[in-house]
Amino acid sequence: MSILYLLIPLTLILLSLAVWAFFWAVKNDQFDDLEGPAHRILFDEDENDLTPEERQRRARARQPRQSVTERDEAASDEREPRR
């Protein structure tokens, strides 16, 4: 019988912790979209589904960027006359 003096407060503490965790998850939008990630994994983003502008933007994003010195050298090469 004396164990109840320990178990009841311990149970109430754990219950309050679980309720707090639930409300924290709801407040921070953890349950916003439960089905989206499951559906998103099934559909690949195919290049044919994109608009031409979107394809060009993605192609530009994949290209390695030139450093400032490489750009300056390329610009000076264009200005110099070819021999």
pLDDT digits (tens, 9 = 90+) for 69-79: 666 666 666 56
Gap between the Cα atoms of 26 and 45, Å rounded: 30
Pick the residue with more confidence: 64 or 28?
Answer: 28
pLDDT digits (tens, 9 = 90+) for 30-57: 888 878 877 777 776 666 677 888 888 8
Backbone angles phi, psi at 27, to 5 degrees: -65, -35
Q: Average pLDDT over the chain, rounded to whole?
A: 81
Give the global pTM. Answer: 0.43
Gap between the Cα atoms of 40 and 68, Å rounded: 39
pLDDT of residue 8 exceeding 80: yes
Contact residues for 47 (Cβ-Cβ < 8 A; gap 6+)? 55
